[in-house]
Amino acid sequence: MIKLFPRYLMSFILLVFLQVFILNNIQFSGYINPYIYILFIIALPFETPKWALLILAFILGLTIDLFSSTIGMHCSATVFIAFMRPYILKVISPRDGYESETLPQLKYYGVNWFIKYSTVLIFAHHFVLFYIEVFRFSNFFTTFVRVVLSSIFTIILVLISQYFYGKEVRR
C-alpha cells in the first residue's frame, strides 16, 4: 500500500476535483446527482485495514463537505460505505477468495462481480446521503427515485472510469 500511496493520492485529488468543480454543477431536474468521488473508496486495495478505510473515508467525505458546504452529509455517507465494504467484499467473494496483489477492479474480477460490488456500495452511499439531506420520510418515494436515478448514473460513470482507470499499470 505504501508503494501505491502516490497513485492513490493523485486519484484522491483527481476525484475530488472532478466532483467539486464539474459534477457538483450537474443536476438533471433535481433527480440525478452524480457522485464519482466514492470511486476512491471502492477502488482501495483489499488489504486496506478497516481503521485506515474509515479514516480515508472520513477525510474524503470531509473534503467534499468543505467544498460543498454540506455539513457532514458526505462524510457520514462515505464512512458508512467504508464500514460496509469489508462485509460486502466477504459476501460477494469468489469461491477461491481474492488473489493477492489484485485490486477490486473490473479488469481483475469481471463485469458481473464489479457491478454487484459497486452497485451495493453506490446505492448505500446515495441512500444515506439523500435521506440525510432530506431528513424526513414524508417524501420517501420522491427521495427514493432520486437515490435510484443518481445511483444508476453514478454506476455508469464508475464503469466508464474503470475502462480508463483499469489500464495496466506497472507496480
Span 5-165: which CATH code? 1.10.1760
Residue 135: alpha-carbon gap to chain centroid: 22
Task: State yes or no: pLDDT of 169 exceeds 50.
Answer: no
**28 beta partners:** 32
**Residue type for 17, please?**
F
Distance between CA 148 and CA 20 in Å, rounded? Answer: 22
Give pLDDT tens digits for 38-90: 999 998 988 889 999 999 999 999 999 999 988 899 999 999 999 999 999 99
Q: All 3 cell numbers of residue 62?
A: 470531509
DSSP state of 25: G
Q: Phi and psi of 44, rounded to 5°?
A: -65, 150
Provide CB contacts within 8 A for 72, sequence distance 6+. 61, 65
Distance between CA 142 and CA 101 in Å, rounded? Answer: 42
Of all residues in the chain, the percent with pLDDT exceeding 70 is 95
Cell 485490486 identifies what position? 103
- Domains of the chain, by residue range, sit at 5-165
Q: Phi and psi of 108, rounded to 5°?
A: -90, -35
**Residue type for 112, please?**
N
Provide CB contacts within 8 A for 90, sequence distance 6+. none
Q: How confident is the model at residue 168, as a pLDDT? A: 52
Give pLDDT tens digits for 110-155: 899 999 999 999 999 999 999 999 988 888 999 999 999 999 999 9
